[in-house]
């Protein structure tokens, strides 16, 4: 019989959305997007433990947003921002959806305003008679 003691973490599918869900990971991505940094340099910029930073880096690496390159004794983090296209495409579909909805609302409000002005003009004309 197979070993069924698989941890919850192993079952979790990591994706770019999970990576950017955390503000610390977003800040790490932002820092590394501007310059390649070693792990210690990344950890120094935060007020959390080194193991916590390592966990964030691991998630970012699993999601493909960061590539770790070994340079001598140091490990350097390099950004792979192409993976963010996934987020951009997802957001774009909702941007189109909401733009259409807001345009329809604007048209409706314009029509409503025009009808209200027409009604007021007719009432005003009747009073003059």
Average pLDDT on 12-28 reads 89
pLDDT score for 118: 76
* CATH (residue range 8-79): 1.10.10.10
Name which of 58, 64, 60, 29 is nearest 45 in CA terms. Answer: 29
pLDDT score for 12: 61
* 30 pLDDT above the threshold of 50: yes
CB contact at 8 A, 74 and 36: no
CB contact at 8 A, 29 and 65: yes
Domain range list for the chain? 8-79, 86-128
Average pLDDT on 81-109 reads 92
CA torsion through residues 86, 88, 90, 92, sign: negative
Express each pLDDT in 47-65 by its tens digit: 999 999 999 999 999 999 9
Beta-carbon contacts of 16 under 8 Å, excluding residues fewer than 6 positions away, are 63, 64, 65, 83, 84, 86, 87
Average pLDDT on 68-72 reads 90
């Amino acid at each position: 019989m197979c070993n069924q003691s698989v941890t919850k973490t192993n079952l979790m599918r990591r994706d770019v959305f999970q990576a950017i869900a955390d503000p610390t990971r977003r800040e790490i991505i932002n820092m590394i997007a501007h310059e390649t940094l070693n792990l210690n340099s990344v950890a120094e910029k935060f007020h959390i433990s080194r193991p916590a930073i390592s966990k964030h880096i691991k998630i970012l690496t699993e999601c493909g947003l960061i590539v770790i390159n070994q340079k001598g004794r140091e490990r350097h983090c390099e950004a792979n921002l192409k993976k963010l296209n996934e987020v951009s495409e997802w957001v774009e579909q909702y941007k189109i959806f909401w733009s259409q909805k807001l345009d329809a609302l604007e048209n409706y409000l314009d029509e409503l305003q025009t009808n209200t002005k027409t009604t007021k003009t007719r009432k005003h004309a009747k009073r003059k008679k």
